[in-house]
Structure 1
């Protein structure tokens, strides 16, 4: 009997300071579409049939609340839950029915060894049809997580969740759960935070048109346009209102079990950093600061100071 494993990246869940301000960015600038929401929460979809690719929840502090993955069925969910429990992982409780406004389904929450929140689900509702618009994101392609302990983080995804190693560089480990070269990358950093999230565009023309819309709305490209080494994907990075880094990407390399993964020394010898095209320079200090999660923390601190002043503290 094969081991239960995850088979796809579903969505990302963020805590944001101002739900309305964040929603306006993701609707009007990033070009996602409302699906459902109530109270302090909003779910937004891309153009694929996936129920949603992003959840926003208004919170006192902005931060990563969850990276959501799909599993083939309820049996796989139970198998993964049992495996995580047996291996001593921190679970929020037993597998069970999930939030109906988020598409329902069956699943559970688990934390990585460093504390990144992970949600695994099956039987989530989808939309009856896709949307034909190449200037808008189709799906969430990958999420990059900052880590001060990449070795144990990578082992969690490989050994507990059934991911496969794709590649490693001096900066990141790349792991995959589907045909995309990577669904998760672990970046060397100070500790657990969100480095960036990447949304897939249908093609390069769609990426450029989408990036043009974002720039026209007052958000300059932070890094790119260029083409990465591992994954060979075209990239363009922006910073959204909460300080999170969000990426439009396309042409992510498609791989199967015949793909040969390479280590950091091999990738260093290829001389493809920071861009295969040699067009996008290395990330600026501002870009590195944003990807390190420092902009989110600065905004959190600023909001705390504003609240303290308002309360006369």
Structure 2
């Protein structure tokens, strides 16, 4: 399929306190602010993508968008036509995009679960790739919660052009490049955001980045370990709005010509625990709640986020 999604560009989040959140994502998470509008900020990683994160001030935290890449305008138009034909809501038809956010050409839509997304081409790329192994290079993957997984998978595969990499009893892993997964769907109450994973260059970089986050007062809620499907190294944190943010590295690279997806029985047999090394332990109770979306969607979020957002960031 030539008209398909080719990667994750960025994630867009609604946050309670724009400047407090910006302080976390720059000083602690090590992104760099590259633009701002009214009640909105954009942040880049060290790679070429114009930005990997947008935050907008909102009364309550919310997932406002997952933004994907396509090769060119023709692919954007074709993907929009396929999405419309599939019956999902098109929020904005293909058109030139705001230059302050990298420009380009794209459209906005909602998944069958109602989550907001967009696809674009021709976004401005940074010519200077920053060499700092302790900082994120890009968005590695986004995991979404859904109570209707069987409705979501065909949309991502048949409309957006993703391929199935692996399936466990709890998750479906989908790829749109050589990366083992750029999107995963978690069988859970939903729809909601489970977590966003940011890629580090190597294990040493992940350890250094994890150390920086810990030194700024944020506990590792799960990790450090190495997952089963994808084999990526991980450390998980809860950021000031109750969203789960992951540092990850060494995600498996797959060859479409040779890769054979494995199913739940295979993974249960060879990898009964979600950590190959056995070092990570179980996710904290707070992490489990955050991954379900509870910390940013419900009353529990109000209590926990007030605690988190009050932490000293230095």
TM-score normalised according to structure 2 size: 0.94
Tell me the SS of whatever aligns to 1:94. Answer: strand
Cα pair 2:242 2:301 within 8 Å, conserved: no
Alpha-carbon offset, residue 173 of structure 1: 0.4
Cα pair 2:236 2:245 within 8 Å, conserved: yes
Residues 119-169 of structure 1 deviation map (CA, whole Å, 9 limit, x = unaligned): 100000011110010010000000000100111111110011010001111
Equivalent residue number for residue 278 of structure 1: 278
Q: Which ranges of 4 or more aligned residues in structure 1 deviate by more than 3 Å?
A: 298-303
Find the aligned partners of 2:40 and 2:299 in 1 and give their Cα distance.
Answer: 20
Equivalent residue number for residue 71 of structure 2: 72
Cα pair 2:294 2:300 within 8 Å, conserved: no
Deviates more, 1:291-300 or 1:9-18: 291-300
Tell me the SS of whatever aligns to 2:93. Answer: coil
Equivalent residue number for residue 190 of structure 1: 189
Cα pair 1:242 1:299 within 8 Å, conserved: no
Cα pair 1:166 1:262 within 8 Å, conserved: yes
Find the aligned partners of 1:56 and 1:121 in 2 and give their Cα distance.
Answer: 19
TM-score normalised according to structure 1 size: 0.94
Alpha-carbon offset, residue 299 of structure 1: 6.0
For structure 1, the 5+ residue unaligned runs are: 307-313
Q: 1:71-220 counterparts in 2 under 5 A?
A: 71-220=70-219
Aligned pairs, how many?
303
Q: 1:5-20 counterparts in 2 under 5 A?
A: 5-20=4-19
For structure 2, the 5+ residue unaligned runs are: 307-314
1:281–1:40: structure 2 CA closer, same or farther, 3 Å change rule?
same
Equivalent residue number for residue 25 of structure 2: 26
Root mean square deviation of aligned Cα: 1.4
Q: 1:56-71 counterparts in 2 under 5 A?
A: 56-71=55-70
Find the aligned partners of 1:299 and 1:40 in 2 and give their Cα distance.
Answer: 24
Equivalent residue number for residue 296 of structure 2: 296
Residues 49-84 of structure 1 deviation map (CA, whole Å, 9 limit, x = unaligned): 110000001111211000011000000000101111
Alpha-carbon offset, residue 99 of structure 1: 1.7
1:300–1:67: structure 2 CA closer, same or farther, 3 Å change rule?
farther
Find the aligned partners of 2:160 and 2:154 in 1 and give their Cα distance.
Answer: 9
Deviates more, 1:95-104 or 1:213-222: 95-104
Equivalent residue number for residue 231 of structure 1: 230
Deviates more, 1:125-134 or 1:263-272: 263-272
Find the aligned partners of 2:20 and 2:242 in 1 and give their Cα distance.
Answer: 13
1:252–1:125: structure 2 CA closer, same or farther, 3 Å change rule?
same
Alpha-carbon offset, residue 282 of structure 1: 2.4
Alpha-carbon offset, residue 300 of structure 1: 8.2
